Structure 1
Amino acid sequence: MKTGVHVFHSKAVWLNTLKPNFKVLPLKDRLLCGLGALIGLALSSFISWLALGDLNAWYIAPMGASSVLLFAVPASPLAQPWNMVVGNSLAALIGVTCAMFIPNLTEAFSIAVALAIILMMTTDSLHPPSGAVAITAVLGGDAVHQLGYSFLFYPVLLNSVLLMLIAIMYNRLLGKQYPQKAQLNTRTAAPTPTQKVTIQPADIQNALEQRTELLDISEYDLQKIILEAQELANARAVNQFTCQDIMTKQVISLRAEDDIQSALDKFKQINLMSLPVVTDLDRLVGTLALYDVVEWFKRAADPKASWEEHVYQIMNPQVVTAQPQQPIQDLVPYFVERSFNYIPVVEHQRLVGIISRADMIAVLNQQLNHLRQQAE
């Protein structure tokens, strides 16, 4: 009996070595990925049918494979719009050419896929379903062969663009960034302040250059994961302060109903660049920066802007806030990477305090001194 259990365990271990080290999403996210593919394929297929209803090949099977990437792993470099459109177009062009000039079908689709891979990797447009596009161009039958190079534009390019546009809208409705932004530091091409004292992009590039295989993760995402891991490690290394420990409770703020001219007078008195905006009972509703007032003055001569008289009409209603019990370590990326001057502390939608950059510098300096004393 023990021998049987041991054999079963050994087989299970062996089978696990064949599985990818892939994160299994919660059921809700898996259902949303499947729903996205369903909506994307149904809509793009229907629109293609409306545009190419009399064409036998109005939709091609490789779009199903593309939908897996676009809706299940939109962060993958292989799923980006450039890869989707350029990869499929190159594969269609090569597939049609091979079908025209190579009589033997096996040779034609084999060469077509091989050349497609080479060209896609050369143009940084690698998209796995494009291999199936190249094969479809060769083995698609008379309906595809009669199209000739028109096959590149319809259905391939039409299907690709439609599915891509639907994927962009669907992923953004779910709050996912698609397509992926290529630069972690949005202000300059230089390393961010956090990267300067930890792992820099050049370090990641040097490490990747030592690897010969192609990784299905962008350098940008790798940087984000490493920085987030570094933040978690740093959080364990220092004592945790909460926002209520360091926040300023006497907050200078503006009222939403204040007129803009009086708001400018307050900016002059306190010499600050931005202030929170509250309504009755100190409910936080936005922030007003000095440059918002400057922009208002620029528009003052425009009759269309004459109705703007109050703070609530020109303030920014999108505010990053913190909770009193929240660790201050959570706020570091906003001050370091995004150059925030302050973050309001809110409880039950009421403004109860504010944490400035100076507050953060003071507490971090205290922690550094503490660590230095421990080292001595």
Structure 2
Amino acid sequence: MFHSKADWLNTLKPNFKVLPLKDRLLCGLGAFIGLLLSSFISWLVLGDLNAWYIAPMGASSVLLFAVPASPLAQPWNMVVGNTLAGIIGVSCALFIPNLTQAFSVAVAVAIFLMMTTDSLHPPSGAVAITAVLGGKAVHDLGYLFVFYPVLLNSILLMFVAIFFNRALGKQYPQKAQLNTRTASPTPTQKVTIQPADIQNVLEHQTELLDISEYDLQKIILEAQELANARAVNQFTCQDIMTKQVISLRAEDDIQSALDKFKQVNLMSLPVVTDLDRLVGTLALYDVVEWFRRAADPHASWENHVYQIMHPQVVTVQPQQPIQNLIPYFVERSFNYIPVVEQQRLVGIISRADMIAVLNQQLNLASQQLE
């Protein structure tokens, strides 16, 4: 039983995350830019601003800019789905005289073919109807309608979506799998829920879900990390970090850096300035590559560490819980992570430090079970 009208209305609403105002405005801005370019190209090609074509592109822009993580919004779905719908729509317009029958058949066949080719894109239904009901301007184009404006505008809108979403830090198009190093499950997945488990569950689903396997894996892994964090003591980075850090100076010459690598038997070292400000990291393979190109006249100016180091460094704060570091060591195979406070290098946490803490947690867990 519903206790109030509000409870009844909530059952009609989707379980959907409402983005902050800034993100909602950016989604609208992306759609504005994409549709502006798309309609401008249509005007250049067809000599007029065609409201009949803005409709399907407007529907596509909702997916591409508001929910770019949706499987229905991926480039394959956008381009292939619209193209198939355009072909079917034009064919039905040419061979089925009755307009009602023509657009009904066009949408039905388009849905079947899109689902068969894994290119389901809801706005493509509007493309199929447009091909039938677009009037003389569309019918005069015939199958050219598939190439322009359908394919042309679809590709244009897709590239705008790619650049715009990536500029905002969003991954578009979505990656096929979480583990890019190998087809095997990641180390975390091996001891929790594996991709094969998700695939087995999805195979028994009788309806399509508007979420990719990749996103399911990512959500499950992050939820598992939160659950694990509740199950262990909250060590912070300053509790386990090594304060006496072996590092390189940015002004060191590369030959002396190699000597230090030999001395400490490490594969990479942080790079600091005279004030211990962290400015980068240098790996042994960077030095090896420097030796390989030493004979190249263009590389003769490279004499110091700062000239071949990597300035982009993942760092943590002393007060951060060590659970934040696990994905870097497990999923991305980091050897160490610098601990920085006010841009100064104050410590370092190695993979061995993490293993020691986890070993202690395992010992405590086994003692509690005895």
**Alignment TM-score > 0.5, same fold:** yes
1:54 aligned residue: 47
- The structural deviation recorded for 1:56 is 6.2
Residue 131 (structure 1) aligned with residue 134 (structure 2): no
1:117-159 CA distances to partner (integer Å, 9 max, x unpaired)?
1111111111000000000000000000000010011001111
1:335-354 CA distances to partner (integer Å, 9 max, x unpaired)?
00000000000000000000
CA contact under 8 A between 1:276 and 1:284: conserved in structure 2? yes
- The structural deviation recorded for 1:12 is 2.2
Residue 273 (structure 1) aligned with residue 275 (structure 2): no
- The structural deviation recorded for 1:62 is 0.4
- The structural deviation recorded for 1:264 is 1.0
2:237 aligned residue: 243
Alignment of 1:77-226 (within 5 A): 77-226=71-220
1:285 aligned residue: 279
1:51-85 CA distances to partner (integer Å, 9 max, x unpaired)?
x1526659542000000001000000000111111
Q: 1:367 aligns with which of 356, 361, 370?
A: 361
2:290 aligned residue: 296
CA contact under 8 A between 1:275 and 1:289: conserved in structure 2? yes
Distance, in Å, in 1 between the alignment partners of 2:91 and 2:288 is 60
CA contact under 8 A between 1:57 and 1:155: conserved in structure 2? no
Segment of structure 1 superposing worse, 222-231 or 23-32: 23-32
Distance, in Å, in 2 between the alignment partners of 1:76 and 1:237 is 33
- The structural deviation recorded for 1:260 is 1.2
Distance, in Å, in 1 between the alignment partners of 2:31 and 2:47 is 25
Distance, in Å, in 2 between the alignment partners of 1:43 and 1:10 is 47
- The structural deviation recorded for 1:258 is 1.1
1:217-245 CA distances to partner (integer Å, 9 max, x unpaired)?
00010000001000000000010100000
Distance, in Å, in 2 between the alignment partners of 1:21 and 1:176 is 21
1:15 aligned residue: 9
1:3 aligned residue: none
**Given residue 188 of structure 2, which amino acid in structure 1 is its aligned partner?**
T
1:28 aligned residue: 22
In structure 1, list runs of 5 or more residues that go unmatched.
Answer: 1-5
In structure 2, list runs of 5 or more residues that go unmatched.
Answer: none
SS in 2 for 1:252: coil
CA contact under 8 A between 2:42 and 2:50: conserved in structure 1? no
2:246 aligned residue: 252
Matched pairs, number: 369
CA contact under 8 A between 1:56 and 1:143: conserved in structure 2? no
User: For the structure 1 residues 97 and 56, does the alpha-carbon distance in structure 2 shift closer, same or farther, using more than 3 Å as the test?
Assistant: farther
SS in 2 for 1:286: strand
Distance, in Å, in 1 between the alignment partners of 2:46 and 2:88 is 26
CA contact under 8 A between 1:57 and 1:143: conserved in structure 2? no
Q: Which runs of 4+ in 1 moved over 4 A?
A: 55-59
Distance, in Å, in 2 between the alignment partners of 1:82 and 1:174 is 21
1:37 aligned residue: 31
Distance, in Å, in 2 between the alignment partners of 1:252 and 1:97 is 71
Segment of structure 1 superposing worse, 129-138 or 295-304: 295-304
- The structural deviation recorded for 1:46 is 2.3
- The structural deviation recorded for 1:206 is 1.1
- The structural deviation recorded for 1:48 is 3.9
SS in 2 for 1:146: helix
TM-score (norm 1): 0.95
Q: 1:315 aligns with which of 309, 313, 317?
A: 309
Distance, in Å, in 2 between the alignment partners of 1:67 and 1:296 is 47
- The structural deviation recorded for 1:44 is 2.7
1:351 aligned residue: 345
**Given residue 214 of structure 1, which amino acid in structure 2 is its aligned partner?**
L
CA contact under 8 A between 1:60 and 1:156: conserved in structure 2? no
CA RMSD of aligned residues (A): 1.4
**Given residue 299 of structure 1, which amino acid in structure 2 is its aligned partner?**
R
Distance, in Å, in 1 between the alignment partners of 2:42 and 2:297 is 46
Segment of structure 1 superposing worse, 128-137 or 28-37: 28-37
Distance, in Å, in 1 between the alignment partners of 2:49 and 2:165 is 31
**Given residue 330 of structure 1, which amino acid in structure 2 is its aligned partner?**
N
User: For the structure 1 residues 137 and 53, does the alpha-carbon distance in structure 2 shift closer, same or farther, using more than 3 Å as the test?
Assistant: closer
